Amino acid sequence: MTAMIEMTGVRKKYNTGKVFFEALRGIDLTVAQNEFIAIMGPSGSGKSTLMNIMGCLDVPSDGEYSFEGVNIRNLSSNALADIRNKKVGFVFQAFNLLPYATAYENIEVPLLFAGMKGKKRKQRVTDLLDQVGLADKVDNKPTELSGGEMQRVAIARALANKPNLILADEPTGNLDSKSGEDIIKLFHQLWKDGHTIILITHDMNIAGQCQKIIKLKDGQIHNGNNSIPK
Amino acid sequence: MNPRILYSIFIRDFRKQKKRMTLTIMAIAWGTISIMLLLAFGEGIKIQMDRNRKGLGEGIVIMWGGRTTIPFQGMGTGRNIRFAEEDVEYLQRRMPELRHVAGEYVRWGVQFKYGDKVYAERVTGVYPCYEEIRSHYPRAGGRFINEIDMEQKRRVVFLGHTLKEKLFGNEEAVGKQILVNSVPFTVIGVMQEKNQMGMYNGPDENKASIPAATFAALYGHRYFNLIIYQPREFDNMEGIERRVFEVLGARHKFDPNDNQALWLWDVYSGAVEFNNMMLGIQIFLGLIGGMSLLIAGVGVANIMYVSIKERTREIGVKMAMGARKRYILVQFLVESLIIVTAGGALGMSLSYILTEGFKRVPIESEVMDFMGRPTISPEIGIIVIIILGIIGFVSGIFPAMKAASVNPVESLRYE
């Protein structure tokens, strides 16, 4: 089986004119199918940059990155958009739901981009709402939902096109501990269902529940693929 | 893209920036109204002028005899060229490219008497084709001079409508006898009212017409005052003119290059020039209207840039969800097109109501004979829709391109 993610010598440089900044300084990393990984590190260590590159939202300045065996260097921006649409699901700390749209419409967005037709799409959205336990909140707008509920909608949205890879950037950062635990439980369920999950967290307790922890510091991995026995 | 989502995005934006959106839509509506009304006024003037111009006749050339300035075949300069009846027949025979050739006699200060009313006016001896080529159309119940009148030299008269009012007032004139220089004539018709812009010898509404043959027999005129011809085709007016000089030059023995021998007034080419001038005026009016629409377009572009700035994060999220750049582009383009469509529809309906309303206001004025009424033609509608479309597209495409080119990573970080 090909690895889900394969990075060799990945660097990311930012050049904002005056300031030159290297967010990633040579990352070598392999993630297999159905792994559950936590990325930890102080702020500015390059966690989000790494996650954006994994999700094909950004491309490395240097080094090679293969996603499911395909080197993304040669892909067009449309091809990258299609990978994000069908093979990657993003979950953000700030939820990033469309504020004017209902839970239903928010979950529908990636399906619309995928071009899924009417009835099938409706069925899929309904199933997703069931899966995250929000069947009764179909027509609620984000402002009418609690933080935990908003993050569930966001996760349902991330799952819309049945992606293999779920990327979560501090998914519990804005939640109270109870809601946070529920969200982590949901991730565990998804892991059991066969998804590959990578999340950024500052919470050792959450990181401890993952298969592996990747510690980043100054754009480099400091502990490699240390497994945490649990 | 789901139209419902596009719609709800638009509604949300509208609510969020109600005042700005309303002002932008009003600006587009205002621009549309100004371009529509300016074009409608131009069209009204053109229609009216066209009507006035046709009072003289369409597609004709009026020709007067001149005086030779070039010696020719042993004859010196300064000879007067005058047309007789034979010249008309000669031209008809020699130049089949002419549909009509007609001569006209004129006499001023002729006495018209009906009952106790006496007026001194102008009488012309004309050919039956004047009905068509010089717009001498009769009112219902009357007729114009015909071939039989010519052959039999009948004493029949066709009155200009003003002359008829003077002599008869509201009384029916057709069939009545009047005295023309003490000779009894039967009125066979009265000219329909017309506006006449171009004229020689005075407006047709004040004169009377009698058959040319009658005129010649009665007043003993040997020569026509002028000849009018109308070609069958209008694509070679100059060639026909040259040919007239050659044909008449051979007959009257003058040099065909002697431009003073004949004086020609090409009404048709004048009309073409006039139409070109009107087109120029309309383009000018359209440009002025287009300017205000352009400024409104800048307003749309501006509001779109603001809207995109405010929704940077949303664009980033959509890109993370797999939106191709094209989807983002289309979304914002459609939004600006919605604004322009709304404003354009509003402006077009308002201008339509305004011009229709103006048509219903009864204004009797000499100015109206000249200005006409503002008229919205289908062409104006199409032109304005095309301009609106271009402005909507241009004012939308640049902001939309900016939106589609945002870096998703940065826009997700954008607060």
Query: What is the per-residue pLDDT across B105-154, written as a single tens digit (0 to 9) for each?
Result: 999 999 999 989 999 999 999 999 999 899 899 999 999 999 999 999 99
Q: Is residue A177 part of a domain?
A: yes
Give percent above pLDDT 70 in chain A: 97
Average pLDDT over residues A180-200: 92
Give percent above pLDDT 70 in chain B: 96
* Alpha carbon separation from A25 to A21, A46, B104, B120, B294 (Å, rounded): 10, 9, 102, 110, 51
Query: Closest to A84 (Cβ–Cβ): which among B313, B320, B412?
Result: B320
Strand A62-67's sheet: what is its strand order? A20-31, A5-15, A62-67, A70-71
- Residues B148 and B117 sit within 8 Å (Cβ to Cβ): no
pLDDT of amino acid B320: 92
| Residue range(s) defining the domain that contains residue A190 | 34-49+76-221
Give percent above pLDDT 90 in chain B: 48
Between these two residues, A223 and A99, which has the higher pLDDT value? A99
Chain B residue with minimum CA distance to A83: B322
Q: Is residue A25 part of a domain?
A: no
Q: Report the CATH number that the domain containing residue A130 is assigned in CATH.
A: 3.40.50.300
pLDDT of amino acid B362: 75
pLDDT of amino acid B1: 55
SS3 content of chain A, % helix, strand, coil (to 5): 35, 25, 35
For chains A and B, CB pairs below 8 A equal 69
The number of domains in chain A is: 1
Average pLDDT over residues A206-216: 90
Q: Is residue A213 part of a domain?
A: yes
pLDDT tens digits, residue range B69-80?
A: 999 988 888 889
Instruction: Provide, as residue numbers in chain A, all residues whose Cβ is less than 8 Å from the Cβ of B319.
Output: 57, 81, 84
* Alpha carbon separation from B405 to A46, B10, B411 (Å, rounded): 24, 21, 11
Average pLDDT over residues A218-230: 65
A57 touches chain B (CB under 8 A): yes
How far apart are the C-alpha atoms of A215 and A23, rounded to whole Å? Answer: 14
Q: Is residue A9 part of a domain?
A: no
pLDDT tens digits, residue range A195-205?
A: 999 999 998 88
Which residue in A179, A181, A180, A186 sits closest to A155, CA to CA? A186
pLDDT tens digits, residue range A23-82?
A: 899 999 999 999 999 999 998 888 999 999 999 999 999 999 999 989 998 899 999 999
pTM: 0.71
Instruction: Provide, as residue numbers in chain A, all residues whose Cβ is less than 8 Å from the Cβ of B315.
Output: none
Q: Is residue A2 part of a domain?
A: no
Give yes or no for residue B24 having a pLDDT over 80.
yes
| Confidence category of residue B311, pLDDT binned at 50, 70, 90 | confident
Q: Is residue A69 part of a domain?
A: no
* Both tokens assigned to B350: 């308002």
pLDDT tens digits, residue range A73-106?
A: 889 999 999 999 999 999 998 899 988 888 998 9
pLDDT of amino acid B398: 92
Instruction: Provide, as residue numbers in chain A, all residues whose Cβ is less than 8 Å from the Cβ of B322.
Output: 81-86, 110, 113-114, 161
Apex A66 CA angle, A60 and A70, nearest 5: 125
pLDDT of amino acid B44: 87
Average pLDDT over residues B408-414: 82
| Confidence category of residue B4, pLDDT binned at 50, 70, 90 | low
ipTM metric = 0.90
How many CA atoms does the CB half-sphere of B271 hold within 13 Å? 21
With an 8 Å Cβ cutoff, are A81 and B5 in contact? Answer: no
Give yes or no for residue B7 having a pLDDT over 80.
no
Q: Is residue A62 part of a domain?
A: no
Which range (A11-20, B34-43, B279-288, B396-405) has the least confidence? A11-20
pLDDT of amino acid A43: 86
- Name residues whose C-beta falls within 8 Å of residue B81's C-beta, 6 or more positions apart in sequence: B65, B66, B67, B68, B248, B252, B254, B261, B262
Query: Closest to B409 (Cβ–Cβ): which among A52, A82, A85?
Result: A52
pLDDT of amino acid A100: 82
* Alpha carbon separation from B180 to B151, B189, B212, B330, B377 (Å, rounded): 20, 15, 15, 80, 47
Q: 3-class SS at A145?
A: coil
- Name residues whose C-beta falls within 8 Å of residue B19's C-beta, 6 or more positions apart in sequence: none
pLDDT of amino acid A230: 39
Average pLDDT over residues A103-116: 89
A172 touches chain B (CB under 8 A): no
Which range (A89-93, A152-156, B239-243, B299-303) has the least confidence? B299-303
pLDDT of amino acid A15: 79
- Residues B304 and B335 sit within 8 Å (Cβ to Cβ): yes
pLDDT of amino acid B415: 64
| Confidence category of residue B358, pLDDT binned at 50, 70, 90 | confident
pLDDT of amino acid B327: 86
Instruction: Provide, as residue numbers in chain B, all residues whose Cβ is less than 8 Å from the Cβ of A113.
Output: 318, 321-324, 327
Strand A196-200's sheet: what is its strand order? A88-91, A165-169, A196-200, A36-40, A212-217, A220-221
Closest-CA distance, A85 to chain B, in angstroms, reads 4
Q: Is residue A88 part of a domain?
A: yes
